[in-house]
Amino acid sequence: MVSKTVLLVNAPSYTEGDVAGNYLAFPAIGVVALGTRLRNDYPDLDIDVIDGGILGIDGVKKKIDDTEPAIIGISVLTPTYKEGLEVAQYAKERHGSAVVLGNDHASFFPELILQNRQHIDYVVQAEFGEIPFSYIVGKETGQDIAIALNSEGDEKVYFRTPTGTAHVGFPKPRLSKVYSDVRDIPDLGLIADEMSIAKVAYNQKYSRHHTSERVPALINNVRGCGNGKRRCTYCGIYDLSLNEGSPGFFWDVVRKYNDDYGVNFIFEVSDSFLTFQRYIRQLIATRPFEPKERDIEFEVYVRANDVVNIPDAIQWLKDLNVTRVNIGLDSGDDNILEFLRKNNQDKKRVLSPSAINYTAVRRLAEAGITIHASFPLGALGETKDSLENTVAFIERISRDFGRSIVTLEASELVPLPNSPSWDMMLSRENTVFHMNGGLEATLAKTGIRLGDDKKVELRHKYDNQDLLEITELARDWTANFTHIDWEDINTTKKRVEQIARSVGAIFGRAV
């Protein structure tokens, strides 16, 4: 009997060395949303979802053997791509599954992946994988559902042909169109086991910051970043364009998760929540209940300059009962913050970039909002002095607001594909450099000089490669684009970890 199972997998996490501070504490939502869409489109198929980031590679392989899926979809980021390939090969060789890759890393290299990885059948290049993946399932199962195609569309499915690769396109939808009905609410029942594990992990890490046990979950009802056109130097997110869902749908999700699963700590994983000012006002105006009255708390990503520049920012967060923010402070050195393209400026141009970081932390702490802060070490042009300034900054905020800091993350900067730092590695011009006078001018400002031989060497090593060794990539970046060495990064990481321990914060990696 041919399997009617579709298995969706969030690739197991990259765990070499330190892990992220909130590792295991939240179950993945992307594959859950995808599974919910497929179940609605194909009610006769068995849809299974697994979060490999929580269950690990052995748990994923066991699930593959248990379900023998006809189709397996794997969500991969650059740090989890190696593990994703292992899962893909296992499913193909053991069970002959049709294998689909999606998410950011797949979107970076669709044709290259199909060229290099014969056990991959489809690659989805999209911000919204729901429609492209539904198309693939229909094609593989011979079911015809109405899906609009557009060869020039921004969302694509790539596949192998006898003469190479080809693709079909789909128009990119608005988020409010993809998620509009209660049937679209990602069904957490699809990952019940992972929910239980995440609940234990979350409370082991963060229980001291709450008055009662938390049941964590994710939501992603707004997407994109207010710094998207400028793009931070290390940012490799595939699509940073702004896209917002319906405020009503947000509250429908919150109510359902709370009613059905007892969820009371929800992380909205938009890249910069405060960017969506009109949406936030609508969220507050349409609240069907006070989150506090249901003991529901939220976490959001914010940017320091939004906290400082938006007059109502703190009050909005308080009105929504946001009790934690995840904020990329990145450095305590003014020059490095400029080279990181953080765009830390106050409206009156009075505060320095690092002063904006400090002011944001102060305002959040004074409002009773806890802080998850991250610092990539080894930015473009990093020096021993700039690292010292960052450690001094972390010491200062820990001394002044230590009770409000729940997580401190610090690790080597990794020049991920699609980021400005990746383009620097390949000596490739990109429009994001134009405001700085071009790539060479950007490097010159930091005192970085690359000879032609080194440029050729790095291009040969990394261009046209779909599988990247993260630590080696970071080492090459540090050696060629900073004024420090690898030991300086390791020493600084240990110092930040000591600071984290001194204030009772969780320490982790920032990638």
All structural domains of the chain, each given as residue ranges with its CATH number in brackets, are: 5-178 (3.40.50.2300), 216-415+483-508 (3.20.20.70)
Residue-wise pLDDT tens digits, 435-462: 677 888 889 999 999 999 999 999 999 9
Residue-wise pLDDT tens digits, 279-299: 999 999 999 999 999 999 999
Question: Which of these ranges, 56-60, 153-157, 354-358, has the smallest mean pLDDT?
Answer: 153-157
pLDDT of residue 41: 93
Question: What number is the average pLDDT over the span 491-495?
Answer: 97
Which percentage of the chain shows pLDDT scores above 70? 97
pLDDT of residue 435: 66
441 by DSSP, 3-state: which?
helix
Q: How confident is the model at residue 348 (pLDDT cuts 50, 70, 90)?
A: confident
pLDDT at residue 310 above 70? yes
1 versus 334: the higher-pLDDT residue is 334
pLDDT of residue 454: 96
Contact 500, 408 (CB under 8 A): yes
The single residue listed with the structure tokens 């707004």 is 222
Which percentage of the chain shows pLDDT scores above 90? 82
Mean of pLDDT over the chain:
93
C-alpha torsion sign, points 127, 131, 137, 138: negative
**Encoded tokens for 444:** 């010159």
Whole-model pTM: value is: 0.94
Residue-wise pLDDT tens digits, 353-369: 999 999 999 999 999 99
pLDDT of residue 1: 43
CB atoms within 10 A of CB 94: 12
pLDDT of residue 3: 67
Contact 246, 180 (CB under 8 A): yes
Q: How confident is the model at residue 273 (pLDDT cuts 50, 70, 90)?
A: very high
Q: How confident is the model at residue 150 (pLDDT cuts 50, 70, 90)?
A: low
**Encoded tokens for 278:** 């009109």
Query: SS in 3 state form for 272-334?
Result: CHHHCHHHHHHHHHCCCCCHHHHCCEEEEEECHHHHHHCCCHHHHHHHCCEEEEEEECCCCCH
pLDDT of residue 16: 60
Q: How confident is the model at residue 148 (pLDDT cuts 50, 70, 90)?
A: low
DSSP code for 227: T
Task: Compute the distance between CA of residue 24 and CA of residue 33 in angstroms, rounded to an integer.
Answer: 19
